[in-house]
Amino acid sequence: MLSLKKYLTEGLLQFTILLSLIGVRVDVDTYLTSQLPPLREIILGPSSAYTQTQFHNLRNTLDGYGIHPKSIDLDNYFTARRLLSQVRALDRFQVPTTEVNAWLVHRDPEGSVSGSQPSTGLALESSSGLQDVTGPDNGVRESESEQGFSEDLEDLGAVAPPVSGDLTKEFPADISSLTEAVPSESEPPGLQNNLLSPLLTGTESPFDLEQQWQDLMSIMEMQAMEVNTSTSEILYNAPPGDPLSTNYSLAPNTPINQNVSLHQASLGGCSQDFSIFSPEVESLPVASSSTLLPLVPSNSTSLNSTFGSTNLAGLFFPPQLNGTANDTVGPDLPDPLGGLLDEAMLDEISLMDLAIEEGFNSVQASQLEEEFDSDSGLSLDSSHSPSSLSSSEGSSSSSSSSSSSSSASSSASSSFSEEGAVGYSSDSETLDLEEAEGAVGYQPEYSKFCRMSYQDPSQLSCLPYLEHVGHNHTYNMAPSALDSADLPPPSTLKKGSKEKQADFLDKQMSRDEHRARAMKIPFTNDKIINLPVEEFNELLSKYQLSEAQLSLIRDIRRRGKNKMAAQNCRKRKLDTILNLERDVEDLQRDKARLLREKVEFLRSLRQMKQKVQSLYQEVFGRLRDENGRPYSPSQYALQYAGDGSVLLIPRTLADQQARRQERKPKDRRK
């Protein structure tokens, strides 16, 4: 029970201190459940910074850098660092290494999907431009995408031949490459210029293309998982098998009454839910046809490159595309990214913006974090101990410095206390003053005044938290006091002066000093208290002491040592509190920094969404039917298939799928 009591009281004390110091909410559970030892130790168990200390050994302790001298636990130290880094990594998206390639395809009159060989039908007249930007870094990806493309084609060939046959039968091929379909951003919309060339001027790209694309993929993935506004899973509703076949089965014989000659692009190699291109328009005129128009992959055209282009920055919400297509693409082009740019995300962004503008005080930061998500584990950066040293940059201040100060002062304390002990005076309340004054046995060489290290003013000046200690509890007798106490001959003093003297002595001498005098102890309390036990026993053996004297001497020694212990204990308490204060400050700093990083990330997220939207509009606007007319966004939409290809589907079907997707995630969330 007692240990339990101690445990609880200690823990509660620390916990209370921590909470009282924290202006903001700190998820203590996070600390407790983490493997970061220091705070957990402080709260739950023997505190590393608040533990019993062998002060005689402290003078050998470290300078305080790196590891708390009282908890030299390298395993915990490195474990904490590793975990901390992992936790911090949680705040960043785990970007899949998926990639998207755009394919151009055209259909030839014979009904075969041209481009079934990457190097043949799919070859883009201007594909060289695409490949130019592919660059060395994309070499591997390119080959991968080609492989994926081949697979796609195989799927098409195996499953979709009837459709493709229908399509081609029905639609005269209008072979224009995607590159032709996408204009440069500076060109008037609708011009049949190279679609990708402006996007593929990778030389200007200040970004890491792959990173950008990964970010984009993350956005989409996150959107599919969290926002649930996409219709990405439509393809997953299909029975196991080729999703494309499923799509075809949805509208196997529905004729597309136009000759849909798709300059199709697909995103090859993308295994993620990728239906961001599925629009959300519900009230659009329903096309009679529900036929899916698979966008057959072309060869090495890579949207990676496309997205990597800085030109995209200028493509945000580009002007109306396809100016020549009066009847279709226009301002009312549905926002294919409605799901991506959902309000929730924007709210977050707005909140973060607000937070930034307002300077991120701790309370706001805390509230913001609560509003966002629960990755507050990032504040795990419990800076209390060695673990905090891992906290990157400049915030790794606390523990080392605090530990050093602690250990330094502790060692100083020990050294001083070994030099001498607190002087004690007799207890006036139990002794006859005159008897005390007549006491003998004080040896001058032992009457030097000693004080505890942190009672030394010079030391106090180094300990700011003790600066306010201005009390003058002069229990300790100064040498002068001792001398003066002995000087006046008792016989020469009047009664009144004796009383005054007694008062003075009472104030100058400790109670044990008085007791020692009263009992005629032949050596100083300093010796009694501070001599090593062997020397102490040796000293006792030199004198013939009564039992009462021996008892008093042992009491003096016990009290004197306990007095120092109490002082050390209190000092440690102060150090602990100060360390906690520093820890809180560090945690708040880290928290603010993490929130700032989060804001930055959300901003880049938003930018990427805009880029995707722009690209959608670009691609869609450049698609032409067999008559060279653009498709109406009210009737068709682009949609990513599960296998990475891009489909041009009737909007009705897209809407259906979108609705289906809206229901499904809700269920999944519960």
Partner DNA sequence: CGGGTTTGTCATGCT
Partner DNA sequence: ACAGCATGACAAACC
CA distances from 230 to 134, 336, 610, 659 (A): 30, 9, 16, 9
Answer for which of 77, 274, 424, 636 binds DNA (CB under 7 A) is 424
How near is the Cβ of 41 to DNA at its closest, in Å? 12
Contact 252, 163 (CB under 8 A): yes
Per residue in 440-464, is it b (16+ CB within 10 Å) or e — as a string?
Answer: eebeeeebeebbbbbbeeebbeebe
Rounded CA gap, 21 and 484, in Å?
Answer: 48
**Rounded Cα gap, residues 646 and 295, in angstroms:** 5
The verdict on 151 binding DNA (CB under 7 A) reads no
Dist CA 36 CA 58 (whole Å):
25
Asked if residues 30 and 377 have their Cβ atoms less than 8 Å apart, the reply is yes
Q: Which part of the chain contacts DNA (CB under 7 A), choosing from 8-16, 179-187, 393-401, 581-589?
A: 8-16
> Is 560 a residue that touches DNA (CB under 7 A)?
yes
Nearer to DNA by Cβ, of 570 and 660: the residue is 570
CA 232 to chain centre: 30
- Is 463:409 a contact under the CB 8 Å cutoff? yes
Is 623 among the residues that bind DNA (CB under 7 A)? no
Instruction: State which of positions 15-54 bind DNA (CB under 7 A).
Output: 47, 50-54
Binding-site size, DNA (CB under 7 A): 51
Spatial distance between the Cα atoms of 101 and 301, rounded to a whole number of angstroms: 6
Instruction: Give least dist CB 407 to DNA, A.
Output: 12
Nearer to DNA by Cβ, of 558 and 660: the residue is 558
Is 461 a binder of DNA (CB under 7 A)?
no
Near DNA by CB under 7 A: residue from 186, 283, 472, 491: 472
Query: Is 500 near DNA (CB under 7 A)?
Result: no
Instruction: Return the number of the residue (266 or 407) whose C-beta is nearest DNA.
Output: 407
What token pair was written down for 497? 């002066």
Please identify, using beta-carbon distances, which residue of 324 and 474 lies nearer to DNA: 474
Among 111-119, 192-200, 218-226, 555-563, the segment contacting DNA (CB under 7 A): 555-563
- Does the footprint of DNA cover residue 663 (CB under 7 A)? no
Q: Does 13 bind DNA (CB under 7 A)?
A: yes
Q: Which of 92, 169, 500, 573 binds DNA (CB under 7 A)?
A: 573
CA-closest candidate to residue 559, choices 583, 601, 590, 529: 529
The gap from C-alpha 498 to its chain's centroid, in whole angstroms, comes to: 71
Which tokens go with 569?
């204990």
Contact residue for DNA among 71, 476, 588, 657 (CB under 7 A):
476
Contact status: 486 vs DNA (CB under 7 A):
no
Query: Which residue, 487 or 533, has its beta carbon nearer to DNA?
Result: 533
For residue 242, state whether it binds DNA (rule: CB under 7 A): no
512 near DNA, rule: CB under 7 A:
yes
Q: Which residues fall within 8 angstroms of residue 329, CB to CB, at 6 or more apart?
A: 320, 321, 322, 617, 620, 621, 630, 631, 632, 633
The footprint of DNA on residues 364-423 (CB under 7 A) is: 422
Minimum Å gap between C-beta 29 and DNA is 23
- Structure tokens given for 280: 């959300």
CB closer to DNA out of 14 and 364: 14
Which chain residues interact with DNA by CB under 7 A?
Answer: 2-3, 6, 9-10, 13, 47, 50-56, 422, 424, 455, 468-476, 507, 510-512, 532-533, 536, 554-555, 557-570, 572-573
